[in-house]
Every structure is written in C-alpha cells, then in structure tokens.
Amino acid sequence: MSKVILITGASSGIGKAIGDFLCNKNFKVYGTSRDPSKYLGSNFQLFDLNVNNSASINKCIDEIIKIEGGIDVLINNAGVGITGPLEEIPEIEIENNFKTNFFGPLNIIKKILPFMRSKKSGLIINITSLAAYVGTPYRSVYSASKAALDLVSETLNMEIKPFNINVVTIAPGEFSTNIASRRYHAFSEKTSPYHLKYSKALELMNNHVDGGADPKLIGKLVLKIINSKNPKKKYIAGSFIEKIAPYLKLLLPQKYFENIIMKNY
C-alpha cells in the first residue's frame, strides 16, 4: 500500500514541487489550495483548504480520511511572508501572519493527530524557515512565526513519540518560488526613518528568493525523511553557508555575527 500524503499549500512553489516529486515516486498525494479550480492541471488532487478557517480544515481532512481511511504523512507547508520595520507593520498584519504560519498549522496537527494515534503511526513535517534560526532586519514577524512553529515541533515530538508519530521540521533557505510577490510588505513612506534601508533590504530579499534554489530539492529531502526509520528532528535545506549559519550564530561573538548580518542587509 502506498503511503497517503497531505501537503498544505500545494498549488505552487515548494508544496507543488514536493507533491510532483512524491507523485513520481508512487505515493498517494493530496494537496490543498484556497482555490483548487485555478490549478486544474495539477498532477495530484487539490482539496479546498484555508488554514485560517477551522471549518475548512475539518472538511478537507474528513474528506481525505473518508477516501483513504487515514493520512500517513502531513506536510504543513502553506505559509506567507511578511516584511517591514516592526514599528510600521499594522497589528492586523502581524496577526494575519501568525494565523497562517503558526495557528493554522497547529489546528491542522490537532485535527489529524487522533487519526495518526489510532493507527499508532504517522509523520508530520513542518516547513519552517532558516529565518526561524537567524533573524535578519525587516523580517521580525516572519522569523517569529516560523521560530514559534519550530519550537512547538520540538516539544510536540516528545509528547507524541509514545504513539510512534514523528515531528520533523525542514527549514528552507532561499528557494525560487512566488513567495516574494505574495508576501505582505509594510508600506514605508519616503519620509519614514526606515525608508532607505528597508527599500534596499527588500530589494535584496527579493533578489535572494528569485535567485534561490530549485524547490525540487525539498521534494528529494522529504522522500529521504519519509524513507528514514529514525529521521532527524530538524533539517535545513539550502546552500552550505545557509546550513552552517545557525551554528556560526552560536559560535561567533554576538556582536561580530550581528555586524555580518547588518553589513549584508
């Protein structure tokens, strides 16, 4: 029997790349989108799901359970970016970001866990970000929402280990997707004291995503994790420098590391 995989936010970018890759490896893949009718050519079935809406979460998961009798692997991938000087990001946008990147994935996990527990088996992969480990200017809220998901994953893994369920995080560095065009950008007036530095940093961030790695690489990593009897708890996906950045942050004097980041942004 091929494993049943559910990937949230699989209409584009990393989620779609994981779905396409696993389809080719004969897994039974289900993805989600807030508007599946826009993606009729998808290689796998897309269910309607908005992670900010509990009714939509319940409906999607109940439908898949009805068809398949269970979900073996949940990949919490749906997410959105947000940039801006913290002082200038409206409260509502901070809340919206946390709803999609943090509260939504938790509600999906809470819905799916009873089914995984009853089978005494399951794998949950939460897509976080390198930004969860290394903060850079004007990405405070995004970093915080992903860091929160990272820490919940760490603690949850210990809670559900007795039920033979693993929780793993993948923290991507820069990958070439649509995330930059979809993220919320705080609008910085020319008179803002942050305007010049934020504009430059934003251009750099967008260039990094555009020139990022192929999301298919994350599909390969997910396959490796699914096939591993004893997966690691945390993976970083990206270049060599992205992989070592969190360790450099721990090893180098704090001021020195901060200077490197500030020089680059």
> Hey, which residues between 153 and 192 contact ligand NAP (CB under 6 A)?
172, 174-175, 177-179, 182
User: Considering the rule CB under 6 A, would residue 214 count as an interface residue with ligand NAP?
Assistant: no
Q: Which is nearer to ligand NAP, 80 or 116 (CB)?
A: 80
Number of residues that bind ligand NAP (CB under 6 A): 31
Segment interacting with ligand NAP (CB under 6 A) among 8-16, 64-72, 161-169, 249-257: 8-16
Q: How far is the CB of 164 from ligand NAP (least distance, A)?
A: 26
Of 6, 51, 73, 201, the one binding ligand NAP (CB under 6 A) is: 51
Q: Which is nearer to ligand NAP, 79 or 84 (CB)?
A: 79
The token duo for 202 is 């934003």
The token duo for 125 is 């992969």
The token duo for 235 is 């993976």
**What whole-number distance in Å separates Cα of residue 241 and Cα of residue 246?**
9
User: Considering the rule CB under 6 A, would residue 212 count as an interface residue with ligand NAP?
Assistant: yes
User: Considering the rule CB under 6 A, would residue 50 count as an interface residue with ligand NAP?
Assistant: yes
Q: Which residues contact 160 (CB under 8 A, 6 or more apart)?
A: 113, 116, 117, 167
Q: Which is nearer to ligand NAP, 95 or 193 (CB)?
A: 95
| Whether the Cβ atoms of residue 115 and residue 71 lie closer than 8 Å to each other | yes
**What whole-number distance in Å separates Cα of residue 79 and Cα of residue 50?**
11
For 24: left if phi > 0, alpha if psi spans -120 to 50, otherwise beta; the answer is alpha
Confirm whether 142 is a catalytic residue.
Answer: yes
The greatest distance separating any two alpha carbons of the chain, rounded to the nearest whole angstrom, comes to 61
**What whole-number distance in Å separates Cα of residue 193 and Cα of residue 224?**
47
Of 6, 15, 152, 221, the one binding ligand NAP (CB under 6 A) is: 15
**What whole-number distance in Å separates Cα of residue 103 and Cα of residue 52?**
8
> Hey, which residues between 30 and 49 contact ligand NAP (CB under 6 A)?
33-35, 49
Of 83, 97, 129, 140, the one binding ligand NAP (CB under 6 A) is: 129
Of 3, 6, 13, 188, the one binding ligand NAP (CB under 6 A) is: 13
Nearest to 2 by CA among 33, 43, 30: 30
Of 42, 83, 100, 140, the one binding ligand NAP (CB under 6 A) is: 100
Segment interacting with ligand NAP (CB under 6 A) among 13-21, 151-159, 160-168, 188-196: 13-21
How far apart are the two ends of the chain, measured CA to CA in Å? 49
Write down the catalytic residue from 30, 142, 184, 235.
142
Regarding beta strands 82-83 and 28-33, do their DSSP bridges make them parallel or antiparallel, or are they unpaired? unpaired
**What whole-number distance in Å separates Cα of residue 247 and Cα of residue 131?**
13
Segment interacting with ligand NAP (CB under 6 A) among 74-82, 187-195, 240-248, 254-262: 74-82
| Whether the Cβ atoms of residue 94 and residue 141 lie closer than 8 Å to each other | yes
Residues that bind ligand NAP (CB under 6 A): 8-15, 33-35, 49-52, 77-80, 100, 127, 129, 172, 174-175, 177-179, 182, 209, 212
Active site residues: 142
